[in-house]
Amino acid sequence: MLRVGVLRFPGINCEEETLRAAERIGADARYIWHRDTTLGGADVVLIPGGFSYGDYLRAGAIARFSPVMAAVRDHAASGGPVLGICNGFQILCEARLLPGALMRNHRLRYVSRPVRCIVEQSATPFTSAFIHGQALELPIAHGDGRYVADSDTLRMLEAEGRVVLRYASDADNPNGAMSNIAGIMNAGGNVVGIMPHPERAADPLVGSTDGAGFFTSIADWHALHQPASQTP
Protein backbone atom coordinates (compact mmCIF):
# COMPACT_ATOMS: atom_id res chain seq x y z
CA MET A 1 0.00 0.00 0.00
CA LEU A 2 1.11 3.53 -0.79
CA ARG A 3 2.39 5.21 2.36
CA VAL A 4 2.43 8.98 2.50
CA GLY A 5 4.11 10.93 5.30
CA VAL A 6 3.00 14.48 6.10
CA LEU A 7 5.63 16.42 8.04
CA ARG A 8 4.50 18.32 11.08
CA PHE A 9 6.50 21.28 12.33
CA PRO A 10 5.38 23.62 15.10
CA GLY A 11 3.52 26.47 13.42
CA ILE A 12 2.33 24.79 10.26
CA ASN A 13 -1.41 24.81 9.65
CA CYS A 14 -2.20 22.95 6.42
CA GLU A 15 -1.32 19.45 7.55
CA GLU A 16 -4.90 18.22 7.95
CA GLU A 17 -6.05 19.14 4.43
CA THR A 18 -2.82 17.68 3.08
CA LEU A 19 -3.29 14.43 4.98
CA ARG A 20 -6.90 14.17 3.79
CA ALA A 21 -5.94 14.83 0.20
CA ALA A 22 -3.50 11.92 0.47
CA GLU A 23 -6.14 9.70 2.09
CA ARG A 24 -8.54 10.52 -0.75
CA ILE A 25 -6.28 8.70 -3.21
CA GLY A 26 -6.36 5.62 -0.97
CA ALA A 27 -2.96 6.16 0.65
CA ASP A 28 -2.06 5.18 4.18
CA ALA A 29 -1.27 8.76 5.21
CA ARG A 30 0.37 9.58 8.51
CA TYR A 31 1.91 12.57 10.23
CA ILE A 32 5.63 12.60 10.86
CA TRP A 33 6.72 14.74 13.82
CA HIS A 34 9.60 17.12 13.23
CA ARG A 35 11.68 15.48 15.96
CA ASP A 36 11.40 12.03 14.39
CA THR A 37 14.58 10.77 12.84
CA THR A 38 12.93 8.39 10.37
CA LEU A 39 10.07 8.67 7.90
CA GLY A 40 8.31 5.59 9.26
CA GLY A 41 8.44 3.80 5.92
CA ALA A 42 6.79 6.58 3.93
CA ASP A 43 7.10 6.20 0.15
CA VAL A 44 6.26 9.85 -0.44
CA VAL A 45 6.86 12.90 1.77
CA LEU A 46 4.59 15.95 1.78
CA ILE A 47 5.71 19.13 3.52
CA PRO A 48 2.59 21.19 4.17
CA GLY A 49 2.07 24.91 4.37
CA GLY A 50 1.87 27.22 7.34
CA PHE A 51 4.38 29.14 9.39
CA SER A 52 6.93 26.72 10.77
CA TYR A 53 8.64 28.26 13.79
CA GLY A 54 6.67 31.44 13.23
CA ASP A 55 8.70 32.21 10.08
CA TYR A 56 11.37 33.50 12.48
CA LEU A 57 14.62 34.59 10.82
CA ARG A 58 13.30 33.64 7.34
CA ALA A 59 10.41 31.46 6.23
CA GLY A 60 11.58 27.86 6.46
CA ALA A 61 15.01 28.73 7.85
CA ILE A 62 14.60 27.05 11.25
CA ALA A 63 12.58 24.02 10.09
CA ARG A 64 15.50 23.11 7.89
CA PHE A 65 17.45 22.11 11.00
CA SER A 66 14.76 19.83 12.43
CA PRO A 67 15.94 16.25 13.02
CA VAL A 68 13.44 14.87 10.49
CA MET A 69 15.05 16.87 7.68
CA ALA A 70 18.10 14.56 7.64
CA ALA A 71 15.75 11.68 6.83
CA VAL A 72 14.01 13.79 4.17
CA ARG A 73 17.40 14.58 2.64
CA ASP A 74 18.30 10.85 2.48
CA HIS A 75 14.88 10.03 1.02
CA ALA A 76 15.28 12.70 -1.65
CA ALA A 77 18.85 11.63 -2.44
CA SER A 78 17.67 8.08 -3.13
CA GLY A 79 15.01 9.37 -5.55
CA GLY A 80 12.08 9.38 -3.14
CA PRO A 81 9.32 11.86 -4.00
CA VAL A 82 9.04 15.00 -1.86
CA LEU A 83 6.46 17.75 -2.40
CA GLY A 84 6.74 21.05 -0.51
CA ILE A 85 3.65 23.23 -0.55
CA CYS A 86 4.03 26.95 0.30
CA ASN A 87 5.98 26.90 3.58
CA GLY A 88 7.11 23.43 2.47
CA PHE A 89 8.57 24.99 -0.69
CA GLN A 90 10.32 27.62 1.45
CA ILE A 91 11.75 24.87 3.67
CA LEU A 92 13.03 22.90 0.64
CA CYS A 93 14.78 26.03 -0.68
CA GLU A 94 16.31 26.81 2.72
CA ALA A 95 17.46 23.17 2.95
CA ARG A 96 19.08 23.61 -0.51
CA LEU A 97 17.07 20.68 -1.82
CA LEU A 98 15.73 23.15 -4.37
CA PRO A 99 17.63 26.15 -5.79
CA GLY A 100 16.68 29.78 -5.19
CA ALA A 101 14.73 31.40 -2.39
CA LEU A 102 11.33 32.91 -1.59
CA MET A 103 11.26 36.55 -0.57
CA ARG A 104 8.65 38.98 0.70
CA ASN A 105 5.84 39.59 -1.85
CA HIS A 106 6.60 42.62 -4.01
CA ARG A 107 3.60 44.55 -2.69
CA LEU A 108 4.36 43.48 0.90
CA ARG A 109 0.84 42.17 1.36
CA TYR A 110 -0.17 38.69 2.34
CA VAL A 111 -2.17 37.43 -0.65
CA SER A 112 -4.91 34.82 -0.29
CA ARG A 113 -6.90 34.16 -3.44
CA PRO A 114 -7.14 31.81 -6.41
CA VAL A 115 -4.54 32.32 -9.14
CA ARG A 116 -4.27 30.98 -12.66
CA CYS A 117 -1.29 28.72 -13.24
CA ILE A 118 0.05 26.62 -16.08
CA VAL A 119 1.56 23.16 -15.59
CA GLU A 120 4.83 23.18 -17.50
CA GLN A 121 6.31 19.87 -16.38
CA SER A 122 4.25 16.72 -16.07
CA ALA A 123 7.16 14.29 -15.69
CA THR A 124 7.17 14.41 -11.87
CA PRO A 125 5.53 12.15 -9.27
CA PHE A 126 3.16 15.02 -8.48
CA THR A 127 2.14 16.34 -11.91
CA SER A 128 1.85 13.29 -14.16
CA ALA A 129 -1.95 13.54 -14.05
CA PHE A 130 -1.74 16.85 -15.91
CA ILE A 131 -0.85 17.56 -19.50
CA HIS A 132 1.87 20.03 -20.44
CA GLY A 133 0.35 23.48 -20.71
CA GLN A 134 -2.74 22.62 -18.69
CA ALA A 135 -4.27 25.65 -16.98
CA LEU A 136 -5.30 25.37 -13.33
CA GLU A 137 -6.86 27.76 -10.88
CA LEU A 138 -5.25 27.14 -7.49
CA PRO A 139 -5.50 28.94 -4.15
CA ILE A 140 -2.48 30.79 -2.88
CA ALA A 141 -2.02 32.15 0.65
CA HIS A 142 1.39 33.61 1.42
CA GLY A 143 3.36 36.71 2.33
CA ASP A 144 6.75 35.40 1.19
CA GLY A 145 6.20 33.86 -2.22
CA ARG A 146 8.41 35.88 -4.54
CA TYR A 147 10.70 33.33 -6.12
CA VAL A 148 14.23 34.64 -6.72
CA ALA A 149 17.38 33.02 -8.05
CA ASP A 150 20.52 34.24 -9.79
CA SER A 151 20.43 34.48 -13.57
CA ASP A 152 22.49 31.30 -14.08
CA THR A 153 20.05 29.31 -11.94
CA LEU A 154 17.06 30.75 -13.80
CA ARG A 155 18.63 29.86 -17.14
CA MET A 156 19.34 26.33 -15.92
CA LEU A 157 15.79 25.84 -14.62
CA GLU A 158 14.34 26.95 -17.97
CA ALA A 159 16.81 24.96 -20.08
CA GLU A 160 16.24 21.77 -18.09
CA GLY A 161 12.46 22.09 -17.99
CA ARG A 162 12.48 22.42 -14.21
CA VAL A 163 9.79 25.07 -13.94
CA VAL A 164 6.90 22.83 -12.94
CA LEU A 165 4.24 25.48 -12.41
CA ARG A 166 4.11 29.06 -13.69
CA TYR A 167 1.64 31.87 -13.06
CA ALA A 168 -0.39 32.16 -16.26
CA SER A 169 0.76 35.70 -17.10
CA ASP A 170 2.47 38.74 -15.60
CA ALA A 171 -0.97 39.92 -14.51
CA ASP A 172 -1.60 36.63 -12.70
CA ASN A 173 1.73 36.77 -10.86
CA PRO A 174 0.65 37.60 -7.29
CA ASN A 175 4.02 38.23 -5.69
CA GLY A 176 6.60 39.46 -8.20
CA ALA A 177 8.23 36.05 -8.64
CA MET A 178 11.00 36.00 -11.25
CA SER A 179 9.86 34.55 -14.59
CA ASN A 180 6.37 34.10 -13.04
CA ILE A 181 7.65 30.96 -11.31
CA ALA A 182 5.13 29.27 -9.02
CA GLY A 183 6.86 25.92 -8.65
CA ILE A 184 10.10 24.13 -9.55
CA MET A 185 11.72 20.72 -9.26
CA ASN A 186 15.21 19.40 -8.54
CA ALA A 187 17.43 17.91 -11.23
CA GLY A 188 16.04 14.43 -10.59
CA GLY A 189 12.42 15.59 -10.79
CA ASN A 190 11.57 13.83 -7.52
CA VAL A 191 11.65 16.95 -5.31
CA VAL A 192 9.03 19.55 -6.18
CA GLY A 193 8.13 22.83 -4.48
CA ILE A 194 5.07 24.94 -5.28
CA MET A 195 3.58 28.07 -3.72
CA PRO A 196 -0.11 27.32 -4.53
CA HIS A 197 -2.12 25.02 -2.26
CA PRO A 198 -3.53 22.07 -4.26
CA GLU A 199 -4.77 20.45 -1.02
CA ARG A 200 -7.28 23.30 -0.74
CA ALA A 201 -8.70 22.48 -4.16
CA ALA A 202 -8.86 18.70 -4.09
CA ASP A 203 -12.44 18.03 -3.01
CA PRO A 204 -15.71 18.97 -4.79
CA LEU A 205 -16.99 20.04 -1.37
CA VAL A 206 -14.79 23.15 -1.45
CA GLY A 207 -15.74 24.10 -4.99
CA SER A 208 -12.65 23.10 -6.94
CA THR A 209 -10.74 19.95 -7.75
CA ASP A 210 -8.10 21.65 -9.88
CA GLY A 211 -5.47 20.59 -7.34
CA ALA A 212 -6.52 16.94 -7.08
CA GLY A 213 -4.11 15.91 -9.83
CA PHE A 214 -1.11 16.63 -7.59
CA PHE A 215 -2.31 13.79 -5.37
CA THR A 216 -3.70 11.34 -7.96
CA SER A 217 -0.29 11.64 -9.66
CA ILE A 218 1.24 10.14 -6.50
CA ALA A 219 -0.97 7.06 -6.84
CA ASP A 220 0.08 6.73 -10.49
CA TRP A 221 3.74 7.08 -9.51
CA HIS A 222 3.33 4.38 -6.89
CA ALA A 223 1.58 1.98 -9.27
CA LEU A 224 4.59 2.27 -11.59
CA HIS A 225 7.23 1.99 -8.88
CA GLN A 226 6.00 -0.61 -6.43
CA PRO A 227 7.99 -3.89 -6.39
CA ALA A 228 7.04 -6.32 -9.13
CA SER A 229 5.99 -8.96 -6.58
CA GLN A 230 3.20 -6.66 -5.41
CA THR A 231 1.89 -5.93 -8.89
CA PRO A 232 -1.33 -7.82 -9.53
Per-residue interface string for the shown chain with another protein, residues 61-100, x marking contact by CB under 8 A: x---x---------------------------xx----xx
Among 106, 132, 155, 225, binds another protein (CB under 8 A): 106
Give the count of alpha carbons within 13 A of 105, CB side only.
18
Question: What sign results for the dihedral spanned by CA atoms 80, 83, 87, 90?
Answer: positive
Which backbone phi and psi does 222 adopt, to 5 degrees? Answer: -65, -40
> Judged by CB under 8 A, does residue 150 bind another protein?
yes
Does the annotation mark 14 as catalytic? no
The stretch near another protein (CB under 8 A) out of 10-18, 143-151, 159-167, 221-229 is 143-151
For residues 7 and 45, the answer to whether their CB atoms sit within 8 Å is yes
Give the DSSP H/E element, type plus range, for residue 193.
strand 191-194
Does the annotation mark 197 as catalytic? yes
User: What CA–CA distance (Å, rounded) separates 163 from 131?
Assistant: 14
Residues in the chain: 232
For residues 134 and 118, the answer to whether their CB atoms sit within 8 Å is yes
CB of 102 to another protein, least distance (A): 9
Does the annotation mark 94 as catalytic? no
The stretch near another protein (CB under 8 A) out of 12-20, 141-149, 159-167, 200-208 is 141-149
Catalytic residues, which ones? 86, 197, 199
| Contact residues for another protein, defined by CB under 8 A | 57-58, 61, 65, 93-94, 99-101, 103-108, 146, 148-150, 176
